[in-house]
Amino acid sequence: MSETHSKSRQQAEKAFGATQTQFFARGHAVDELNSIAQARDEKTQRLREARLAKELQDSLNPPPAPTKRGKKS
């Protein structure tokens, strides 16, 4: 039971299929960009937390004062 459509109907179906493909491709690209942005934000947050922890550790344990050296003859 194969239906035969008019030429204009076939062209319309083909155009619609192409539009749908573009629509879904655009959605896929947006999803990919969103996942990249989310990964970047998570990494930034981890690095910020690590930097703040290091700064806190450095402020609690200041480096030792430099020792005076005697004059070399």
Q: What pLDDT, in 10s, does the model give residues 33-52?
A: 999 999 999 999 999 999 99
Task: Determine, yes or no, domain membership for 30.
Answer: yes
- For residue 27, what pLDDT band results from cuts at 50, 70 and 90? confident
In a domain, 4, yes or no: no
Q: Domain containing 48: what range?
A: 25-61
50 inside domain: yes
Q: Note whether residue 11 is domain-resident.
A: no
Residue 49 lies in a domain: yes
What's the whole-number mean pLDDT along residues 11-24?
86
- pTM, 2 dp: 0.53
List, in order, residues 6 or more apart from 13 with CB less than 8 Å away.
5
19 located within any domain: no
Token pair 């970047």 in the structure block, residue: 40
Residue 53 lies in a domain: yes
How many domains does the structure of the chain reveal? 1
CA 68-66-56 angle, 5° bins? 165
Residue 44 lies in a domain: yes
Query: What pLDDT score was predicted for residue 1?
Result: 39
